[in-house]
Structure 1
Amino acid sequence: MYITITPQKLGSTFSQSAADYVEYLEKENQNLEIEDMEHFFNQDGEKLNTQEVVRDIDANTSKLKKVEPKFYAITVSPSQYELRKLQNHSLDLKTYTREIMKDYAASFNREINGKAISVRDIKYYAKIEHQRTFKGTDVQVRENQPYATRILKCKDEIQKIKRGEIIGDVSKLEKKIARLEREAPHQLNGKRITQGMLKAGNQSHIHIIVSRKDMSNSYSLSPGSKYKSSEVEFNGKLVKRGFDRDAFFNRAEQSFDRLFKYERNFMETYEARKQFIKDPKIYFSVLLGLPANEKAMAFKMLRERGVPMIPAIPVNKAQLALKVFNKLKRGIDTAISSGSIGV
């Protein structure tokens, strides 16, 4: 489970409205029949139209400055293993969304009118998507880029030859292009992976737009708060503040496991990924000390994520050679890279 929480992009080149982001989330509905479309929903509503979403998010910004985000974008991406536990991806992910928004609310160390924050205080709209495309930052696109550059150079030379600007052998250049296309390290269905290409397999995931202000438009609820969970004295009173991201990510995993009876491997847990970032040596020692079946599954998952595997990895953590460790670390760094807030 990969969850990212990203603040609204602000600045002179970005709109203060949620309209552009909402329009972006409508991209999959283009050219689909009405019955096949995915619509926005929230805790109680279904098939909400985009105009309503934009209007409600844009209007819920009382006392926020231009330099403050008006909403946050949460992306929830279940793994292929997690998705296999779902019976109906659209319906099950909607159920899951409504559950984790309770987890989101519970992760605020805040009170409204003397009561803890609940999902009824959160203004949000969500949408399920079933496709993903390769981005320029994906490792497959980046590692294919040298080949793409050479292919582009060959195509440019072909055009110059056809225009009579240079002398050359078009047939030879076309054969070179074909060879470079085949030699690119990352392929999908026999084609070189490029930016914008659809990813294979089940890619269902969730996008959630969460207003910065609460449902009453009176209280600011920021998941990007630098305060994890604390109290501060304000006008002579102790006031709770902060958002516990660790608690949210852990609760989100637990909710999925409870709803769909999913048995989570150590490698899939947020705590494991956090341990890897904090102390990779401990991460690997725990990984190597797992029961045989769980360890085998963990390494199978790592291989499927493109992490380089070294034959005969030593069982004793003291035998972990630095060269082996660094190669594994580089691979996992790429595999678990994430958004601006969270992992």
Structure 2
Amino acid sequence: MIDANVKGLRAGEARFYSLVLSPSEDELAHIGSDPAKLKEYTRRVMDEYAQNFKLKGGQQLRSTDLVWGAIVHQQRTHRGTDPEVAAGQARAGERRAGRQSHVHIIVSARDAEQKISLNPGGRKQRFDLTKWQVAAGRQFEQQFGYVAQAHEKLRPKARARDTTYDAGRLAKIGERVVRINLLVPAEQRLNPEKVGQIARDRQFDQTFYRMLSRVEERAHDGRPIDNAYHLLATGREQPAPQHTATTVLHAVQQLVRSGGGRDEQTEQIAEKKGRRRAELDIEM
């Protein structure tokens, strides 16, 4: 079901995301570790998951718009990195004591109509992960009449971002843009101020820097990216139709100059050879 729901995804993109619902021992005791109750709770949590996505035009998703599946596990085993194993109190692979019921979920990266990409680990403006986690905890309380302890509640941290190094970051980004502009045709040169504004809007996150590196690598290879601003702002390529012919012509010119008669190995632009993207794992 998940494998068939991939229309519109490029090679190398995540096909699904892995979520884990882990009630505390007190929460499990409250519902008697009842698998039926955990299943119904999971369905409600996935309703919250769907509704948490903020889409263009105010479109609202429901759980029926998702492609997902789940399984209830009643036991856990110790890992080699657990404190109990390090202290010699348990061995790796041994069952953990106490109530250990939890739910593993996999949810497709595309909606059921395969028209929308749904990434819970992307931009906060599109999916607020903490908000969803808080809602999941609140759902358990309301659904089962449970009063959560302080340590069982996830509270969003209202902490202002440290902007101390922003000026230095912008200066370095500007230098990279200058280097990129020396390698691309005039019509595809980037405005350093616009790139810097995108960096600020994304709060200098890792996605921005990965996409900037991709733009730089493509420029070095003689394959500049159409609509690089879109890539930097969203993390996704969206070629501008008016630039496509220019890009093809430039690529042909590079091929001729490099001796296009030789056999060459084609690699995915989206990722470096030999690397695979890990699926997102979120534990609650």
Q: How far does residue 64 in structure 1 lie from its aligned partner after superposition?
A: 1.3
Partner of 2:79: 135
Query: Are the aligned partners of 1:130 and 1:204 in contact in 2 as well (CA < 8 Å)?
Result: yes
Query: Are the aligned partners of 1:107 and 1:244 in contact in 2 as well (CA < 8 Å)?
Result: yes
Equivalent residue for 2:14, pick from 69, 85, 98: 69
Partner of 2:150: 266
TM-score, normalised with respect to structure 2: 0.54
Q: How far does residue 114 in structure 1 lie from its aligned partner after superposition?
A: 5.8
User: In the aligned structure 2, how far is the partner of 1:262 from the partner of 1:107?
Assistant: 23
Query: Are the aligned partners of 1:245 and 1:342 in contact in 2 as well (CA < 8 Å)?
Result: no
Does residue 148 of structure 2 align to residue 203 of structure 1? no
Q: How far does residue 66 in structure 1 lie from its aligned partner after superposition?
A: 2.5
Partner of 1:301: none
Please give the root-mean-square deviation of Cα atoms over the aligned residues, in Å: 2.3
Partner of 1:122: 66
Does residue 101 of structure 2 align to residue 101 of structure 1? no
TM-score, normalised with respect to structure 1: 0.45
User: In the aligned structure 2, how far is the partner of 1:118 from the partner of 1:137?
Assistant: 38
**Could you give the per-residue CA deviations for residues 95-141 of structure 1, whole angstroms, max 9, x where no partner exists?**
10000001111111125x86312112111001111010011222222
Q: How far does residue 342 in structure 1 lie from its aligned partner after superposition?
A: 6.5
State how many pairs are aligned.
165
Where do residues 80-99 of structure 1 align in structure 2 (5 Å cutoff)?
80-87=25-32, 89-99=34-44
Equivalent residue for 2:124, pick from 225, 228, 245: 228
Query: Are the aligned partners of 2:20 and 2:281 in contact in 1 as well (CA < 8 Å)?
Result: no
- Would you tell me which structure has more strand in proportion to its own residues? 1
Partner of 1:78: 23
Partner of 2:216: none
Where do residues 38-57 of structure 1 align in structure 2 (5 Å cutoff)?
56-57=1-2
Query: Are the aligned partners of 2:31 and 2:144 in contact in 1 as well (CA < 8 Å)?
Result: yes
Q: Residue type matched to 1:267 in 2?
A: H
Partner of 2:189: none
Where do residues 186-201 of structure 1 align in structure 2 (5 Å cutoff)?
186=89, 193-201=90-98
Query: Are the aligned partners of 1:121 and 1:215 in contact in 2 as well (CA < 8 Å)?
Result: yes
User: In the aligned structure 2, how far is the partner of 1:126 from the partner of 1:256?
Assistant: 17
Alignment partner of 1:81: what SS? helix
User: In the aligned structure 2, how far is the partner of 1:255 from the partner of 1:269?
Assistant: 12
User: In the aligned structure 2, how far is the partner of 1:340 from the partner of 1:91?
Assistant: 24
Q: How far does residue 275 in structure 1 lie from its aligned partner after superposition?
A: 7.6
Q: Residue type matched to 1:96 in 2?
A: Y
Partner of 1:216: 113
Q: How far does residue 88 in structure 1 lie from its aligned partner after superposition?
A: 5.6
**Could you give the per-residue CA deviations for residues 280-320 of structure 1, whole angstroms, max 9, x where no partner exists?**
xxxxxxxxxxxxxxxxxxxxxxxxxxxxxxxxxxxxxxxxx
Q: Residue type matched to 2:99 in 1?
A: N
Query: Are the aligned partners of 2:33 and 2:99 in contact in 1 as well (CA < 8 Å)?
Result: no
Equivalent residue for 1:252, pick from 136, 147, 153: 136
Shift >3 Å, 4+ stretches: 339-343
Residues 275, 136 of structure 1: alpha-carbon distance in 2 compared, 3 angstrom cutoff:
farther
Partner of 1:59: 4
User: In the aligned structure 2, how far is the partner of 1:114 from the partner of 1:244?
Assistant: 15
User: In the aligned structure 2, how far is the partner of 1:341 from the partner of 1:271?
Assistant: 16
Residues 59, 86 of structure 1: alpha-carbon distance in 2 compared, 3 angstrom cutoff:
same
Q: Residue type matched to 2:79 in 1?
A: K
**Could you give the per-residue CA deviations for residues 38-66 of structure 1, whole angstroms, max 9, x where no partner exists?**
xxxxxxxxxxxxxxxxxx10010112122
User: In the aligned structure 1, how far is the partner of 2:34 from the partner of 2:151?
Assistant: 23
**Could you give the per-residue CA deviations for residues 198-233 of structure 1, whole angstroms, max 9, x where no partner exists?**
1111111001110000011121111111x111xxxx
Unaligned regions of 5+ residues in structure 1, if any?
Answer: 1-55, 145-183, 187-192, 230-241, 279-338
The alignment-based identity, stated in percent, is 35
Alignment partner of 2:8: what SS? coil
